[in-house]
Amino acid sequence: REGGSAAMGEQHVHVWENTYIMAPKDEEKFLPSRVADTIERVMTDYLKDKEYYPEDAKMWTLDLSNEIKAAVKELSIPRYKIIVQVVIGEQASQGIRVASKCLWDVTADNWASYTYQNNSLFAVGMVFGCYYE
């Protein structure tokens, strides 16, 4: 219907201009040491009194992933997509290797990880920072 009220059903379209920023500034880079410290703090606080139960571990991975992501975002690393992966397993004197594969720009993208262990469980937290061009 034409000629109707402009306020009703009006949609605003935001137009963004290109920034032409192709690489992060040195002070804006994803620093693995800062991120690893953040992962360690969050995982230690969350898991310090926990014992491994398979049903609980499913929820812990989601909670930890969200908490780590929020804590890393508080570091104010601009123009980076933050991806968090958490693996939790039972500590049973076994060996395990956790690996990930990505295609990325080695000059701007980076990652950090931390492994937490107690008598009952182990947890590996990995954070990947991929720069938005």
pLDDT in tens, 88-105: 999 888 888 888 888 888
Residues 57/120, Cβ–Cβ less than 8 Å: no
CA gyration radius, the chain: 20
Over residues 22-37, the pLDDT tens digits come to: 888 888 889 999 999 9
Measured CA distances, 100 to 56, 104, 112 (Å): 24, 12, 12
User: pLDDT 10s digit of each residue in the chain, 133 long?
Assistant: 445 455 567 888 888 788 787 888 888 889 999 999 999 999 999 999 999 999 999 999 999 999 999 999 999 899 899 999 999 999 888 888 888 888 888 889 999 999 999 999 999 999 999 998 7
Query: Residue written as tokens 């690893």?
Result: 36
Paired with 112 in beta bridges are: 127
**What pLDDT is recorded for position 8?**
64
pTM exceeds cut of 0.85:
no
